[in-house]
Amino acid sequence: MAQILITRPHGKGTDLAQQLSQKGYQATLFPVLKIDYFTPNNTQLTPLLNADKVIFISQDAVNALLALKPDINTKAQFYAVGEQTAEAIWQAFGVRAAVPKQHDSEGLLALKSLQQIDGQNIVLVKGKDGRATIAKTLKQRGAFLNNLVVYQRSPTEGNSADWLDHWQSIDVKGIVITSNAAVDAIFRQLSVQQLEWLRHCQFYVASARISEHLAAQQIDSANIHIAAGASDSAMFTCISEGTLMSEDTKPIADTKAAQSSTTKVNTKVTDSPSATKKDFAMKQETPPTNKQKVSKTGSLALLISLIVAAGVGYQFYQKLNTQQQANQVINQLSADNQLLGKELQAVKVAQQTLQQALFNSEQKVTAALAASKTQTQQQLESALQRAEQQAYSLNPQEVTSLQRMAEFKLWAEKDYQGATAVLSRLDALLAEHPGTGAIRQAIHQDLQALSTVEPVAVEAIYLTLHGVLGQVDKLVFNAVALPQEVEQEDQHALSENISDWQQNLANSWQQFKDNFIKIRQREDIAIEPLLTEQERHLIQQRLSLYLSQAQDALLTKQASVYFTALSQAEVLVKDYFKHDDALTKSTLKTLQELSKEQLNFSPAITLKSTEQVKEWAQ
């Protein structure tokens, strides 16, 4: 059997290879593409929490997202381009995905549930540099689309020219391709001889789009076989049917050649008896040698007689033969006329029958259309009644609870993302019931207002304050340190001897004068404060206290306390630390920038949906 090459990425195509081997084919796995997974940030993964619909382009998209272990709304509607992708979604997230009958972008977009998607949040999980058809169409239909790129396909290491040398050496007859990227990986940097060899191979592709891409590489359409999808079973069926068709072509050609050869042989065999008869006639016409002498005149007369007799006989034979042929033709024409008359009569009968059947069919079609119209009208009335009943079945308490929860998230917890999620859930609930258009419009206005709120970067500001707090002990003071007092011997100590009363009197006066006032002179123009080590420590502790107070105010969302603490900290740095020091300059600059932060913890937002829900509930 033929050698089939499977070019799918590593880890795929194993089941297809086993099926081909069981069928008698020689299957070889040769990945021409590799899959590189990306790591999106939390901002890019956040839309999965509030998604109404999640669309996966391929199995690689499912596996790449599963590796990230994201928080995903499993109550959303999941979509897959093919059956294998849907199975991968079930294995990964335990959710059944909708699959189109036509396993491509056009088939997915044709699904009824993706027609009316105005205002819905849709996440498209895809690879890099893929088709933009799905994203473009969903945006045109009014959806809020989030493209989540989680992987990239790129050619495997090695030169495609070396690949083809290897393929020719193992006598590859068919090549399985499931993406345009694989076509581009194969048809790069090839020689003319290698391209010519490829054009004689059979290609088994997963879609008509890949077939068109192959045709652009000057591959004959007769050598391209399109499967019903990229699954192993679809590719196996395509290979089996394509191989049978290619093998059936050769016996037909061999049969024609055999028939032609048989015709030539028969011609030769027919010619040989003719030559034999001719030779025999020549032998019969040649008279045997007679020793008896015959007169020339008699011989001539006999010859003339024979010729005349032969001519008369030939003419008689011809007339007789012509008459017989004419009679046969007349008889045949008579028989044909009789047969034609019968066929004409049968045609007339069939025409009458057909006209009657057509008349009956028109009556049946008219009756069927009338019945169908009546049935459709009844179904429409029944659907309207169910819709009205469904509208009345909506629980007002559930709607009111969700609205109050959104208000609590907004005003009590200041959780704007949580309020957005609750309002989105309320909108999804109301979308299932008619007669709630006014509430949904108000909800979408609230969602738009919440989306404009810029959250305060509490974490970043807190960490910046923590960094400044760690540099407090390294700041250089703009003051002179007092030296420690050295215990010296008191020269004016009083004596206990009574005879030294005069000296004791002088010493007492000197001690009184020293304790009363001291005068020191400085020649420097700039006077720096004199601080002890204890005073320096207290100033540093006070500065640290202000910075910690600003951190606490930030966490408790007290903007006035935050700005007051920063202002007092800035005054301390300016008064007690050197202004020309690099660390002091950096600290002052950071404090000034932090003082300019917009701490709008309570933006003025009014939920318009609240009044609408109250009116509806009443």
Higher pLDDT, 337 or 584: 584
Same domain, 470 and 565: yes
Taking alpha carbons only, the member of 222, 238, 228, 171 closest to residue 26 is: 171
Percent of the chain, pLDDT > 90? 17
Same domain, 470 and 553: yes
Note if the pTM is more than 0.75: no
Give the total number of structural domains in the chain: 4
Q: For residue 401, what pLDDT band results from cuts at 50, 70 and 90?
A: confident
Higher pLDDT, 585 or 244: 585
The reported pLDDT for the residue numbered 453 is 74
State whether residue 580 is helix, strand or coil: coil
The reported pLDDT for the residue numbered 262 is 34
Is 356 among the domain residues?
A: no
The reported pLDDT for the residue numbered 177 is 92
Rounded (10°) CA dihedral 547, 552, 553, 555? 130
Q: For residue 251, what pLDDT band results from cuts at 50, 70 and 90?
A: very low
Same domain, 172 and 68: no
33-37/144-155 β-pairing = antiparallel
Cα distance between residue 562 and residue 598, in whole Å: 11
The reported pLDDT for the residue numbered 250 is 43
Is 218 among the domain residues?
A: yes
Same domain, 94 and 204: no
CA distances from 431 to 421, 427, 441, 522 (A): 15, 6, 11, 85
State pLDDT tens for residues 78-134.
999 988 899 999 999 999 999 998 888 888 999 999 999 988 999 999 998 777 889
Burial letters 227-241, b for 16+ CB under 10 A, else e: bebbbbebbbbbbee
CATH label of the domain that carries residue 180: 3.40.50.10090
Q: Residue 213 above 80 pLDDT?
A: yes
Same domain, 570 and 474: yes
Q: Which residue has the tokens 């999808």?
A: 229
Cα distance between residue 45 and residue 490, in whole Å: 80
Taking alpha carbons only, the member of 391, 382, 82, 348 closest to residue 233 is: 82
The reported pLDDT for the residue numbered 56 is 94
Same domain, 473 and 545: yes
Same domain, 458 and 538: yes
Residues 550, 464: contact at Cβ < 8 Å? no
Contacts of 395 (CB under 8 A, 6+ apart): none
State whether residue 176 is helix, strand or coil: strand
Angle separating helix axes 416-431 and 396-407, nearest 10 degrees? 160
Cα distance between residue 23 and residue 538, in whole Å: 89
Q: Among residues 94, 123, 153, which one ends one of the domains?
A: 153
State pLDDT tens for residues 336-361.
777 887 777 778 777 777 777 777 77
Question: Which of 249-253, 506-510, 576-580 is most confident?
Answer: 576-580
- Average pLDDT for 486-506: 70
Q: Among residues 135, 153, 171, which one ends one of the domains?
A: 153
Q: Residue 288 has what DSSP assignment?
A: P
* Domain containing residue 228: 3-31+158-246
Percent of the chain, pLDDT > 70? 82
Tokens describing residue 187: 């048809």
Is 170 among the domain residues?
A: yes
Higher pLDDT, 318 or 110: 110
Is 517 among the domain residues?
A: no
Mean pLDDT of the chain: 79
Is 377 among the domain residues?
A: no
Contacts of 119 (CB under 8 A, 6+ apart): 142, 143, 144, 427, 444
Residues 185, 17: contact at Cβ < 8 Å? no
Is 389 among the domain residues?
A: no
CA distances from 3 to 162, 186, 509 (A): 18, 18, 122
Same domain, 583 and 536: yes
State pLDDT tens for residues 30-47.
998 888 899 888 888 888
Is 388 among the domain residues?
A: no
Same domain, 466 and 573: yes
Same domain, 408 and 419: yes
Provide the 10 A C-beta neighbour count for residue 87. Answer: 16
Provide the 10 A C-beta neighbour count for residue 427. Answer: 23
Is 523 among the domain residues?
A: no
State whether residue 56 is helix, strand or coil: strand
- Average pLDDT for 56-79: 90
The reported pLDDT for the residue numbered 296 is 63
Q: Among residues 97, 127, 153, which one ends one of the domains?
A: 153
Same domain, 38 and 171: no
Same domain, 542 and 592: yes
